[in-house]
Structure 1
Amino acid sequence: MSDPIDPTGDRRLWQRVRLSLPEPPEPDLMTLAAYAEGRLADAEAEAVEAWLIHHPEALADIAAARSSLGAAPAPVPLPVVRAARTLAPSAQRAVWPQAMRWSSFAAAVVLVAFLGFQMGVATATSLIDPGLEDLSVEEEVFL
């Protein structure tokens, strides 16, 4: 009544049909990486698979990438995490040492500005005062 089903013949037929279809555009590298990791949506995965049918060397690379990914690493035991936390410095930085650094820097800036201003005033005063005395003497000469 019914003919025996030949799965290998059906597979070959579908492969010939797929190969006769026009070649889809090449996916970018990030899409291929997402496909290798299994993070693509079904529609995007089908588009990548259609491209991979025409490029068996890329399919072999994807298979190698999937096999190298393997399973997720085992979780770290809690005692190991606690021991690592005791070895590492505290995540909270001390506020006072940093505040002291900034305040000493600000004090140094204010001191340098004040001393520079005082030196400028002293220099200007020493240059201007003798000049004014000379002007007054010359004015007396011309009178």
Structure 2
Amino acid sequence: MKNGYDILSAAVREAANDNLGAEETVTRIINDLDFAGLTILRRYPVVDYAQPVQVIKEEGSATYSAVAWAYGASVTDLRGRPGHLVMWQESGQMQAAWFDGEGANSRLLQYRVINVPPAPATAFVAPCGACQKAAS
């Protein structure tokens, strides 16, 4: 059984022998790892642009409410999921950028789009009847 390093080195060697470009080399590496049963884990969940979104900056140092403005079929992640044009306001100025299906932008690495996390639910728990009897 080969480990991930062996598979990566073989894929890069084969890509160099075949004179493949960067994009074809990445595709070959991903396919070889997938065929070997290894997976590339995501760091962030897939963004559902139909739901409310936020833009986070530098690993959560700042968050901005955002709007997914336009769909872009040509902006895709490694799995082929399409992205959107996202607009947000930062320091009083409107910003806009294309983000892929995983919420990343290849040029603005310090920004990421996430779905707005749901607000935590709070509930009032009434004391049970046995507790009321014990208290009296």
**TM-score of Structure 1 vs Structure 2, range by shorter chain:** under 0.3
Q: Which has the higher strand share?
A: 2
Q: TM-score, normalised by structure 2?
A: 0.22
